[in-house]
Structure 1
Amino acid sequence: MLLQQIINGFVAGSAFALFALGFTLMFGVLGVVNLTYGFYFSAAAYIALFATIKGAPLAIALPAAAIATGLIAVVVDFLLLSRLRKVRAPELASLMVTLGATLFLYSGMTALFGSEIRRFPIGLVDSAPWTFQGASVSLAQILIVGTVAALALGLVLLLRMTRTGLAMRALAENPDAAELMGIDTRAIMSQVSFVSGALAGAAGVLIALEYNAITPYMGEAMTLKGFAVIILGGLGDIGGALIAGLLIGVLEALTAGYVSSVYKEAVGFLLLVLTLWIRPLGLFGRPSARRA
């Protein structure tokens, strides 16, 4: 049914958008493509899983997992990227370093937890669906959309209404000028890493809750989808990432429902290629002015 597919796609797309928000924030402010970002997605799902197994409710497990992955992101950024920023290494250096770290972290997680699919405890969230016009909506889906909306609004308020957000935007515009203006750029970079890692972690828990399937490499596929979202929406554009994530989620659901689930994963990458061909700046990207 069309309405059911749209609902399913909107829920999945919400989580895609949340993941992409942290990705685009990290890229837009720090100027690096950090491939360990997908690891935070997987790690948070496992943290929430073990917390719920120990009896913690989802209302505690989700924020705890997000905070934990935010802290992990700060540590990883300090160990891997701070030195590269100090010596002004080229962007390819950060890409290669984080690629190696990602392979190491995923392998370690697989050795520690195994590669089999794990699931949240039965009854963690009420599974009884509500029906509307022949379509069903579960409590988990409502929680996912509500959580994404709250976190996205919180991020916008952080960036637009706080001094920290102003400092982040200044750092994204011109790091050297921001430092000359007295901004503690190291502290702001750590805060960006924390917020980005926490958003990735929250998205990991929500996706795991939607599909109830947790594996070490679940973040790998999401990283590729995150690239598709931020390129389609426009690099560094928060609103564009939200809209692009929802669009990809809905189109994937419609493809699975009316064509074949085999082609579902190809939708995002088809949109990515078409965007690069037709509008390389993305749907909402704007060319940046360069001054001599």
Structure 2
Amino acid sequence: MLEQQLVNALSLGCVYALFALGFTLVFGILGVINLSHGAVFMVGAYAALAAVAKFNLPLWAALIAAVVISGFAGLLIDVLVLGPLRKRNAPHLIPMIATIGVAILINNGMQGYVGAENMRFPFGTVSSSLVTIAGVHMTSLELGIIFLSFALMAVLMTTIKKTQLGRALRAIAESPKAAYLLGINVEGLFLMTSFAAAALGGMAGVLIGLYSNAVFPLMGQPMLHKGIAVIILGGMGDIRGAMLGGLFLGFAEVLSVAYIGSNMRDAVAFGLLFLILLVRPQGLFGKVLERKA
């Protein structure tokens, strides 16, 4: 049934978009491609799993715990790795290479601590009840993913475009030195951005762990690849582009599985992405990348 496949694609695309929102936020403000974002995504999933399985917390409390823990993980990465590199005016490739090392460290550390096997959230963590809308069945998890993703995108867009904080962040994105001369707390906003982006990644980790019913140490690697594809498609640094790019990838994957075959899922999705970028190399909203010297 096409309508059912579209609902599945929408929920999956929203998870991709949620992951990409954090990814693109770091690039847009800090100017860094943080390749440890997938590892933070995994940390969020394990934090929620531990909160539910070991401490018997309800899912909403586990989600808050995951957001806080992954946010502090992102903050720690900024303080220990990205911040010192900023102070030394390191070339753009250096932070990217450094975050690859951080990701390997986190992934291997988690694998050594919990093992490499798949883990699952306890049965009944999410209600299995179905909601039927116009003949289409949706689970409470799918509804929650869709609502949460669009709500967070709206909050981020409103914050960036309409608030004093957003104006300060846009000023930093244009020129950190000029923002500093204007009295903006540049380093503090860098830290806040790292926390918020990692929190979004951790939340996406929880949702994909629930959606796929699998949590494992290397779960962030394929998501990282898709996140990079999403922000390139949407236009690097653009929140709208991250959301639309995530939805595009989700729809391409689900519909290719339904009508072509699961073996061709990634080939079809990334093939379509490649064709779009041939037509529009800067991405859907690539104009936001234009910066004045």
Q: Give the TM-score normalised by the residue count of structure 2.
A: 0.95
Distance in structure 2 (CA, Å) of the matches to 1:75 and 1:58: 25
Q: Matched residue of 2:52: which SS?
A: helix
2:237–2:289 contact (8 Å) kept in structure 1: no
Distance in structure 1 (CA, Å) of the matches to 2:291 and 2:133: 52
Distance in structure 2 (CA, Å) of the matches to 1:25 and 1:281: 17
Asked whether 1:214 is paired with 2:215, we answer: yes
Q: Matched residue of 2:137: which SS?
A: strand
Q: Specify the alignment match of 2:203 in structure 1.
A: 202
Q: Specify the alignment match of 1:126 in structure 2.
A: 127
Q: Specify the alignment match of 2:224 in structure 1.
A: 223
Asked whether 1:145 is paired with 2:184, we answer: no
1:74–1:194 contact (8 Å) kept in structure 2: yes
1:46–1:214 contact (8 Å) kept in structure 2: yes
List, as ranges, runs of 4+ consecutive aligned residues in structure 1 with deviation greater than 6 Å: none
Deviation at 1:55, TM superposition (A): 1.2
CA offsets 1:150-177 (integer angstroms, 9 cap, x no match):
2222212222233222211110011111
2:74–2:195 contact (8 Å) kept in structure 1: yes
Asked whether 1:239 is paired with 2:247, we answer: no
1:228–1:268 contact (8 Å) kept in structure 2: no
Structure 2 vs 1, CA of residues 290 and 56 (structure 1 numbering), >3 Å: closer, same or farther?
closer
CA offsets 1:124-152 (integer angstroms, 9 cap, x no match):
12113234455321111111111112222
2:15–2:149 contact (8 Å) kept in structure 1: yes
Q: Specify the alignment match of 1:52 in structure 2.
A: 52
Deviation at 1:275, TM superposition (A): 3.5
Q: What are the ranges of 5 or more consecutive residues in structure 2 without an aligned counterpart? A: none
Q: Specify the alignment match of 1:161 in structure 2.
A: 162
For 2:79, the aligned partner's letter is F
Deviates more, 1:152-161 or 1:80-89: 152-161
Distance in structure 1 (CA, Å) of the matches to 2:129 and 2:258: 22
Structure 2 vs 1, CA of residues 291 and 134 (structure 1 numbering), >3 Å: closer, same or farther?
closer
**Correspondences of 1:163-202 after superposition (within 5 Å):** 163-202=164-203
Deviates more, 1:155-164 or 1:107-116: 155-164
1:228–1:271 contact (8 Å) kept in structure 2: no
**Correspondences of 1:1-292 after superposition (within 5 Å):** 1-53=1-53, 54-286=55-287
Q: Matched residue of 1:136: which SS?
A: strand
Distance in structure 1 (CA, Å) of the matches to 2:181 and 2:46: 42
CA offsets 1:182-240 (integer angstroms, 9 cap, x no match):
11111010000011001101111111111111111111110100011111111111111
Aligned residues: 292
Structure 2 vs 1, CA of residues 290 and 169 (structure 1 numbering), >3 Å: closer, same or farther?
closer
1:248–1:267 contact (8 Å) kept in structure 2: no
For 1:265, the aligned partner's letter is D
Distance in structure 2 (CA, Å) of the matches to 1:182 and 1:161: 20
Deviation at 1:273, TM superposition (A): 2.5
What is the aligned-residue identity percentage?
A: 44
RMSD of the TM alignment (CA)? 1.6
Deviates more, 1:126-135 or 1:230-239: 126-135
Deviation at 1:289, TM superposition (A): 5.0
CA offsets 1:88-113 (integer angstroms, 9 cap, x no match):
11111111111111111111111111
Q: What are the ranges of 5 or more consecutive residues in structure 1 without an aligned counterpart? A: none
